[in-house]
Amino acid sequence: MIYSSMEIENENNLLAEFLSGRRYQQASLRKLATGHLLIEACINDIPGAFILDTGAGATVVDEKNIEFFRLNATVDSVTGAGAGGTGLTIYSSFDNSILINEFYISPSKVAAMNFEHVNTGLQQYGVKETIHGVIGADLLEQANAIIDFAGMSLYLR
């Protein structure tokens, strides 16, 4: 079945109303040239740009931003892996606050690792934004997240 843009917009509005009635908060997403979904979020009241990554088990920031996001981070005893990188040093920080639009999670664990390979790869595809980290499945699951690809929205409760 083929839908017009007006029909899709009406469906998105119905979804937004339905979820709003169930206490979900809506946040806007933006698609990067690579197809990744970008979301704005604050960690410890500091805004940043994050990739929404349902395949990432944890919410992670670039280790260069540990002080920027005021993380009280310690080195983990295990190493980690991410897109394009393995054997990476992982830092853990607990008791952080995360704010996405009007949705607030605290206390929250945030990990940190080297993101140079991520930002370098994205820049090769013409992405100009610096990515501060990823919002991972840990936060999405905790917030009962619903991703609306057609409406480019994330709903959290």
pTM given for the model: 0.86
| Distances from the Cα of 49 to the Cα of 43, 89, 119, angstroms | 10, 22, 12
Closest CA to 109 of 59, 64, 41, 55: 59
113-156: per-residue pLDDT in tens? 998 888 888 989 888 888 999 999 999 999 999 999 999 999 99
| Lookup: tokens for 31 | 């698609």
66-123: per-residue pLDDT in tens? 999 999 999 975 655 554 455 678 999 999 999 999 999 989 999 999 988 888 889 8
The number of distinct structural domains making up the chain is 1
Q: Report the C-alpha gap between 23 and 133 in whole angstroms.
A: 27
Q: Report the C-alpha gap between 116 and 114 in whole angstroms.
A: 6
Question: Which CATH number characterizes residue 106's domain?
Answer: 2.40.70.10
